[in-house]
């Protein structure tokens, strides 16, 4: 199997990191709404794809990798950097999926029920992101 | 005030849920796809479509496509930078947010998104 699940990875993330993600996610959603209210939907809409969580997630990954290596008395900075680079590579592909999600919403939302639109948009995100990831993986 | 609290809770919950899924997936390059999850877009569009209507939500979604390309430029810049430099990865992931602002507002201006409705 190409993709695997590891529920144990959830335990490696501290309660503080979960709280940071929740607060950041909530704040960006609030700020996006406030920007749209103040400057209109065409400006506010840009922030639907603001990389709010990525820096926090990347910092967490780098710290975890660094600590793992330092427990073995090794320099973990390089390992942390490479882990962030791999994460960023996946995120770069995921952005195309996010664009597909938003394009689907843009094309359907005026004519279809909201549940149908969001279902189709999630399907577009999953399909485009997954296919691009497979293409890049096989192309290496 | 109630609307802001609902936005905060829905946004926080969806971002946490997508991040948790990203955490349990391997390899890391696949999990990285969740770094660009549609959590904030989903939370915002659910609330906006109900409150302001589908036309307003479609305008937000159209600008969001531009934001997604800016996000792509940001993530690509971070990937290239941290892979080549020897410094810690923390500072570039925040500093390169400037790339997102430049690309997002640059494209927004070039495409004239503020003028069309």
Digit-coded pLDDT (tens) for A9-26: 777 777 888 888 899 899
The reply to whether B47 and B86 lie within a common domain is no
Residue A29: band (very low, low, confident or very high) from pLDDT cuts 50, 70, 90: very high
Smallest Cβ distance to A51: which of B30, B71, B88?
B71
Residues of chain B falling short of pLDDT 50: none
pLDDT tens by residue, A72-127: 777 777 778 888 888 899 999 999 999 999 999 999 999 999 999 999 999 999 99
The pLDDT, as a whole number, for residue B117 is 56
Instruction: State the Cα angle at A26 between A66 and B7, rounded to 5°.
Output: 165
Distances (CA, A) of B85 to A57, A81, A84, B41: 19, 9, 12, 33
Q: Which residues of A touch B25 (CB under 8 A)?
A: 3-6
The pLDDT, as a whole number, for residue B31 is 85
Domain count, chain B: 2
Assigned domain for B81 exists: yes
Long-range contacts of the stretch A104-113 (C-beta < 8 A, 24+): A105/B41, A105/B45, A105/B57, A105/B58, A105/B61, A105/B64, A106/B58, A106/B61, A106/B62, A106/B65, A109/B45, A109/B49, A109/B54, A109/B57, A109/B58, A109/B61, A110/B54, A110/B55, A110/B58
Q: Helix or strand or coil: residue A4?
A: strand
The reply to whether B69 and B103 lie within a common domain is yes
Rounded Cα distance, A80 and B26, in Å: 16
Assigned domain for B60 exists: no
The pLDDT, as a whole number, for residue B112 is 86
**Residue A91: is it exposed, middle or buried by C-beta count within 10 angstroms (0-12/13-18/19+)?**
buried
The reply to whether B36 and B10 lie within a common domain is yes
Across the interface, do A95 and B50 touch by the CB < 8 Å criterion?
Answer: no
The reply to whether B42 and B4 lie within a common domain is yes
Instruction: Give the closest-approach CA distance of B109 to chain A in angstroms.
Output: 10
The pLDDT, as a whole number, for residue A123 is 97
The reply to whether B70 and B102 lie within a common domain is yes
ipTM greater than 0.90: yes
Q: Is the dihedral of CA B52, A21, B74, B69 positive or negative?
A: negative
Across the interface, do B16 and A22 touch by the CB < 8 Å criterion?
Answer: yes
Across the interface, do B63 and A46 touch by the CB < 8 Å criterion?
Answer: yes
Query: How many interface pairs between A and B have CB atoms less than 8 angstroms apart?
Result: 326
Assigned domain for B59 exists: no
The reply to whether B75 and B38 lie within a common domain is no
**Domain limits for position B69:** 65-117
Across the interface, do B36 and A98 touch by the CB < 8 Å criterion?
Answer: yes
> Are the C-beta atoms of A90 and B42 separated by less than 8 Å?
no
């Amino acid at each position: 199997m190409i993709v695997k699940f590891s529920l144990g990875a959830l335990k490696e993330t501290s309660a503080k990191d979960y709280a940071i993600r929740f607060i950041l996610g909530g704040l960006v959603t609030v700020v996006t709404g406030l920007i749209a209210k103040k400057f209109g939907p065409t400006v506010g809409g840009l922030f639907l794809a603001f990389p709010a969580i990525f820096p926090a997630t990347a910092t967490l990954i780098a710290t975890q990798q660094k600590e793992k290596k330092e427990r073995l008395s090794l320099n973990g900075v390089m390992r942390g950097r490479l882990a962030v680079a791999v994460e960023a590579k996946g995120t770069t592909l995921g952005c195309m999926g996010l664009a597909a999600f938003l394009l689907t919403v843009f094309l359907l939302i005026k004519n279809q029920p909201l549940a149908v639109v969001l279902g189709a948009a999630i399907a577009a995100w999953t399909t485009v992101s997954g296919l691009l990831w497979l293409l890049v993986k096989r192309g290496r | 005030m109630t609307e802001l609290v609902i936005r905060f809770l829905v946004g926080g919950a969806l971002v946490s849920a997508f991040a948790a899924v990203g955490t349990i997936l391997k390899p890391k390059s696949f999990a990285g796809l969740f770094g660009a999850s549609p959590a904030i877009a989903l939370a915002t569009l659910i609330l906006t479509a109900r409150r302001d209507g589908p036309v307003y939500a479609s305008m937000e979604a159209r600008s969001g496509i531009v934001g997604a390309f800016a996000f792509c430029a940001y993530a690509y810049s971070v990937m290239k930078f941290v892979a080549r430099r020897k410094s810690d990865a923390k500072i570039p992931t925040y500093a390169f947010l400037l790339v997102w602002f430049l690309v997002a507002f640059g494209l927004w201006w070039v495409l004239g998104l503020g003028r069309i409705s």
